[in-house]
Amino acid sequence: MAAFPTSSVGLRVSLHVEIPSDVAYIERVVDLVRHPCAELQFNPHHLALNVPVALSEALSNAILRGNQESATKTVRITADVDVTRLVVEIADQGARFDLDSKTRDATSVENLEREDGRGLFLMRKLMDNVQRFDAPGGGVEGNVIRLTLSRR
Amino acid sequence: MSFSIKKQGEIVVVDVEGQLIVGNRQELKQKVLDELERGEKKFLIDFAQTGYIDSSGLGVLVSLSKKIREQGGELRLANLNDDLRTLFELTKLDTLFQISDTRDRALSSF
């Protein structure tokens, strides 16, 4: 783990963001989450690649596939960052899905030249852990994707 | 984020400034397809000023590569930084595209 100022030990940043189901908000949310990771001196490659790409994928899935860009649905994002790790949860209001069966091997011969189907694959390659939960509240819709990345 | 297009000899050079993501990929696709429709055959996309690329951005590059090949043209990529190169390696798209370290090398590879 890279050295960090003593004043960072015990520091924990929590963010709560809610956005309309519009992909125009993705870049802004990525910047909001990346900022505290940079403050806590996460690995530069994680800041430039892993965090922005995995988070963009989770957000675009939530907006386009989950909420189907509905004007009446929102995406909620919570992020917790400290000197050990980043945990981000992205919650949509769409139809539930199975993470494993929807993840395609984007590198196989039959998929390599496909235009789509790399999102979940990349998310899982770039994060230490990706989990899907049913959104709380007892309804029949809604997914929460939890992305976890260790600071190292 | 923006895309600028200019001609260098017979080659259409596209600079991607900022991110290439779901929110702007269609703009890049349309700009390149417009040039292809005008009869251009040689394309270079330069990523020297690019931040990150998501799966939609990668998908557009794959789609453009196919369409350009179908018209008898060629698409080359240049100036991927270490992180972008990692992205192409993770997805094995480094095997699908001809990628040069610099714009000059890419231009002279046509």
From residue A75, give the alpha-carbon distance in Å to each of A34, A66, A149, B61.
Answer: 18, 9, 21, 28
**Contact state of B55 with A52 under an 8 Å Cβ cutoff:** no
* Residues A142, A23, B13: CA angle, nearest 5 degrees: 145
| Spatial distance between the Cα atoms of B28 and B63, rounded to a whole number of angstroms | 11
Q: For residue B61, what is the nearest residue in chain A, using CA coordinates?
A: A115
**Contact state of B52 with A115 under an 8 Å Cβ cutoff:** no
Q: List all residues of chain A from 35 to 54 with a beta carbon under 8 Å from chain B.
A: 45, 48-49, 52-53
**Contact state of A60 with B54 under an 8 Å Cβ cutoff:** yes
Closest partner residue to B92 among A24, A56, A112, by Cβ? A112
Question: Hey, what long-range contacts does A132-135 have (CB within 8 A, 24 or more apart)?
Answer: A132/A97, A132/A98, A132/A99, A134/A96, A135/A91, A135/A92, A135/A93
Closest partner residue to B21 among A48, A56, A114, by Cβ? A56
Cβ neighbours of A57 in B, within 8 Å: 54-55
CATH 3.40.50.150 fits B2-109, yes or no: no
**Contact state of A56 with B52 under an 8 Å Cβ cutoff:** yes
What was the pLDDT predicted at A20?
A: 98
**Contact state of A64 with B95 under an 8 Å Cβ cutoff:** no
Q: Is the pLDDT of residue B50 over 70?
A: yes
In what helix (H) or strand (E) does residue B20 lie, and over which residues does it extend?
Answer: strand B11-20
Cβ neighbours, 10 Å, residue A18: 11
In the 3-class helix/strand/coil scheme, how is A23-71 assigned residue by residue? HHHHHHHHHHHHHHHHHCCCCHHHHHHHHHHHHHHHHHHHHHHHCCCCC
Which pLDDT band holds residue B1 (cuts at 50, 70, 90)?
Answer: low
Q: Domains of chain B: which residue ranges?
A: 2-109
Q: How far is CA B16 from the centre of its chain?
A: 8
Closest partner residue to B52 among A24, A48, A64, by Cβ? A48
Question: Which of B55, B12, B18, B58 minimizes the C-alpha distance to B34?
Answer: B12
pLDDT averages per 10-residue partition of chain A, 152 residues:
67 96 97 96 97 98 97 97 97 94 92 93 98 88 97 88
Whole-model pTM? 0.94
What was the pLDDT predicted at A139?
A: 79
**Interface contacts A/B by beta carbons within 8 Å:** 79
| Spatial distance between the Cα atoms of B6 and B107, rounded to a whole number of angstroms | 13
What was the pLDDT predicted at A2?
A: 53
- CB neighbours of B45 closer than 8 A, spacing ≥ 6? B14, B16, B61, B75, B76, B77, B78
Mean pLDDT of B4-16: 96
Across all residues in chain B, what is the average pLDDT? 96
Residue with tokens 């890419």: B106
Cβ neighbours of B53 in A, within 8 Å: 53
Burial class of residue A67 (count of CB atoms within 10 Å of its CB; 0-12, 13-18, 19+): buried
Three-state DSSP class for B80?
Answer: coil
**Contact state of B52 with A119 under an 8 Å Cβ cutoff:** no
What was the pLDDT predicted at A152?
A: 83
